[in-house]
Every structure is written in C-alpha cells, then in structure tokens.
Amino acid sequence: MNASACEFDLLQQSLDDRLTEAQEERLAEHLVDCESCREKLEQLAAGPQAWQRIETCLKQEASGEHFPDGSHRVSTLIPTGPSSTSFAYPHPSDVRPQDFAVDFLRPSANPDALGTLNNIEIRSIIGHGGNGVVLKGFQEELNRLVAVKVMAPPLATSAAARLRFAREAQATAAITHPNVMPILTVHSGGQLPYLVMPYVDCESLQQRLDREGPLPAVDVLRIGHQVANGLAAAHAQGLVHRDVKPANILLEKGVDRVMLTDFGLARAADDASLTRTGLIAGTPQYMSPEQARGDAIDTRSDLFSLGSVMYAMATGRPPFRAETTYGILRRVTDEQPRQICEINSDVPAWLSGMISRLMAKSAEDRFGAADHVASLLEDCIAHVQQPRANALPEELNPPRFRRVLTSLLRKPIHVLVFGTFLLVAAVLMSLRTTPEPKPSQLVPSANEVTMEPEATDANWDAGLYEDIQEINEELDELLESLELETE
C-alpha cells in the first residue's frame, strides 16, 4: 500500500484485527503520509456523528421508545455500511445480559437520567472520541459519582483494541498514587468493555492551554511536578506510559491536584513489542525521538514527553509543529525546538534550561529518573515562592555571571545599564593605566630631585589595585540586584 493507492477496506480490516503483521506495518507507514486515510480511520473508529447517534439511542432506550414491552434493551449498534454513522440492531437472542449498550439500560427513577448500567445510574455523556465515550454515573449504594469509559462499538470488534483497553485497566490498577487516575472496576468480557473510575470535576491541561495560552512559571512547575510524581509511580511498577500529553493530564477544579490518565499505550519497560518495526504508538508532537524512530525506549522516553508538555505550558504551543505527521516526526528526530525565551521572555533561564535537558535528543543526556525530576521541581517551586530562603538546586544553577548575562540579553534596559557600567569602568582603568612620563624623559633643573621609577610604579600599582577592588565591589552589587530582579 503506497501514498497513491488508498485502500479503505484495509482500514476496516485493521480495526477488525484481520490483517497480518506485515500488512499492519505497511498500513502504519502509509498512514504517516496519507491524511485522507487517517481521517477515514478516525471516521471508521466512530466519529462525532456516530456518538451523537449512540446518545440518541441511549435516551430513547431510557424512555422506552424502542420497545413497547418496556424492556428498554439497547441492542448492539453494528455498522451497516462503509461508514460507522449507520447502525443496525441484531436479533435480541444475540445479546448477552451483562453487556452495556449491547443488552439493556434499565429504566431509572430519575427522569433526567439516560438509564442504569448494573448498579450505576447513567446521568449524562461527559465526552467522546474515536476510542470511546465517557459517561457520568452515580452509584447509590456508595453515594458517589463515577465516570464510565465505554469502548467505541466499531473498536470492540478488534482484538488489538480490546487488548489495549484491558491493558489500560491492568496498568492503572498496578499504580496507587494521588497523581494517577485510579480505576475502580473493569468489565472487559462483554461486547462493549467499560471501565469505572472516580468522577472528578476537572478539565484537561489541553483545554486550559487552548483557553489561556502560556501558563505562569509557578503553574508550569506545579503541574510538571505532579506529572513527574505520577510517572515515577508508573516507572516504579516497570511501566512506560508512552503517551504523555496535555490531553492525558487532568486538572481537578478548585484544588491543585493533577492526575495522569489513559494508560492504554502503557507497556512494561522490557516488553519486546515496544520495538516493533513500523508501528509507532503515541502522539507525534510529544513523543521522544527514539519513539518516533521506532527504536527501543525506556522510562526516559516519558521524561522527553514531560519536557515537551512543560514546553507547551511555557509557550502555549507544542515544541514541534508541521502540516503532516511525517513532518512532525522528522522535526522530533532531527531538529531543535525554538528557544523558549524567544517565545516567552518571562520564563526564567534556569527553567528553560531544565526543559531543554528533558528534551535532549539522546536519552543519555536527559535526567535519569522521574522521581529525581520531581524532587528538582519541588525545590524549584520553593525557590520561586521564597527565592531568598530557598536556593535553586545546584544542578539547575548555572555560574552566576553567565546566569545574569543570559537574563540581561532578554531585557534591553538591563543591557543598556550594564553596558554603560562596563564602559565607565573600562575608561577609568584606561586612564589609570596610562603611564606617566618617566623622570629620565624630562630635563630636570639643577635644583630638582629626580624621583626613583621604582617608587612611582609601586605607588601606581597600589592605586590601580584599589580601583579594581572598588569596581569589583560595585559590579558585585549590580549583579546581585539584577539577579534578584530576574528570578
């Protein structure tokens, strides 16, 4: 399959898990360059129209419109044509009682609810996408709200998609940490698998960036710190997330809690399938160079993605952008992103340097572990909040003179003041170092006493030393004042 020959039938066969491994690899390579096939694949994996249709069906089932006998069954929605926006219902005998949106939604005492799923009252649809739909539910016995993530019907026929869905549950269940969204229960045996998670009133980091643009430095540090903590917990279980991006980072409203979610691509660090040629999983704008090349990856790949997320928070945009996926992947592997200070001069130089190290092209040049990054970010937060009481970590603290000069380059008024000071100092030293005429060069009178050159030079050296010391002290004071202002 090449860029000039799009075979849409292969897309559906891929979703149905009916392609050989070689065919999957060729299809993956084709999708990198073919935008029309990528759009078609998203449509086949249930686009907005499909989910609108599903939402309508759910509401009709809850009101009993489909079945006059009051059974309120929601039968399996099966695509009837090449597009997933057309569905048909199978015979009721094909339906298993435990399936959600496949068997039935029981009527609810709440007239505003869509219905009930087992012991969960389904109240509304939170959101949907190509992979599935997330429903807001309520468990009366436990008096708590929950979020129910249901796999998209077209994906449920793919063994690979169901494996990813089950892997998300298994990976997340292995992690117990406040910065990782937990999974309460999982139902993977039905025709439409679903996960039950705590309901949290939140928004994604991507939504906040879309609304606000670049974030203050303290928010970049705070969010980055909690994501690093979540990654450290995952890495401690031997897992690599592989898809760290703003859309998978949730910000709880009203508190400062950040949660990492969507472990559907997570794999064990020693999983051989992480290096399958031609298969690239993840989001191109935030994946590491080794991940983009399809090379072996480890936990440091997630650190590159974290750095890319922090870059987006600091600048309001992803570090690598291009018109095509292939173009993005090439930039990830071959090019450096634009300097943060060129986009947002308010970002401290030390923070920009930390992000650059996280985004080093070679994994060897990055920080070694997520827990170390979390510790550094915690110290940075303390420094930003109380700079006089808490110094920057030495690892992030460049030499003082270079640090101040870097900050000066971003503020023209400081360049002018500092340049003027250096000019005055240079003129003063030049005047001082102009040698006086030696006595031998003068014609002394008969009564004039000739001064010894050695004595003149010694007095002159002592005066020059005093002036240099004074200039150093003044320069020290200037550096301190500029340093405090630029932090």
Q: What is the pLDDT of residues 400-426, one digit of tens each?
A: 544 455 555 555 555 566 566 667 666
- pLDDT range class, residue 273, cuts 50, 70, 90: very low
Cβ neighbours of 246 (radius 10 Å)? 22
Reply yes or no on whether the pLDDT at 397 is more than 70: yes
Rounded to the nearest integer, the mean pLDDT of the chain is 74
Reply yes or no on whether the pLDDT at 303 is more than 70: yes
Q: What span, in angstroms and rounded, lies between the C-alpha atoms of 343 and 220?
A: 15
Residues in binding site for ATP? 149
195: phi then psi, degrees, rounded to nearest 5: -115, 150
Q: What span, in angstroms and rounded, lies between the C-alpha atoms of 216 and 213?
A: 10
Q: Name the percent of the chain lying above pLDDT 70.
A: 60
Torsion angle, alpha carbons of 295, 296, 299, 301, to 10: 0
Structure tokens given for 67: 């079945």
Weakest mean pLDDT among 50-54, 61-65, 432-436 = 61-65
Reply yes or no on whether the pLDDT at 91 is more than 50: no
Structure tokens given for 283: 């989001």
| Beta strand pairing call for 132-139 and 120-128 | antiparallel
Q: What span, in angstroms and rounded, lies between the C-alpha atoms of 248 and 485?
A: 36
Model confidence over 355-379: pLDDT tens digits? Answer: 999 999 999 999 999 999 999 999 9
Q: What span, in angstroms and rounded, lies between the C-alpha atoms of 228 and 249?
A: 11
Least Cα distance to 479 among 419, 418, 425 occurs for: 418
Q: Directed axis angle between helix 8-15 and helix 21-33, to 10°?
A: 120
Q: What span, in angstroms and rounded, lies between the C-alpha atoms of 257 and 226?
A: 8
Q: What span, in angstroms and rounded, lies between the C-alpha atoms of 177 and 336?
A: 34
Q: What span, in angstroms and rounded, lies between the C-alpha atoms of 165 and 455?
A: 89
* Residues designated as active site: 243
Residue corresponding to tokens 């970049």 = 220
